[in-house]
Amino acid sequence: MIILTAQVALIAAVCWPVFRLMGRDYDAAVMSGGLCGFMLGTTANAMANMEAPVDRYGPAPRAFLVVPMVGAFFIDFINAVIITVCLNLWS
């Protein structure tokens, strides 16, 4: 329970400033939901978190363009670089 509480607190502490930095509009809210999904797991979680408000309140095309690109592609490239550097340093 302590770890779950800490994780929820960290997600709230990170997503609230992201919402404010992204412009405090509908797209920012959907992007913040996507960030919460990434923090809880994978790109699929992010897309599911973004689908919920979009199904109810309407489309957010900018959010659906930005979040999957950043989450799926850029993070994969950065992870590959970090893993390669760590393997070279520790081998």
35 pLDDT more than 80: yes
Q: Report in angstroms the alpha-carbon separations of 86 from 17, 75, 82, 89.
A: 31, 16, 6, 5
pLDDT in tens, 47-78: 898 999 999 999 988 888 888 888 777 878 88
Q: What average pLDDT score do residues 20-40 get?
A: 89
82 pLDDT more than 90: yes
The 8-class DSSP code of residue 41 comes to S
Its pTM stands at 0.74
> Which contacts (CB < 8 Å, 24+ apart) does range 79-88 have?
none
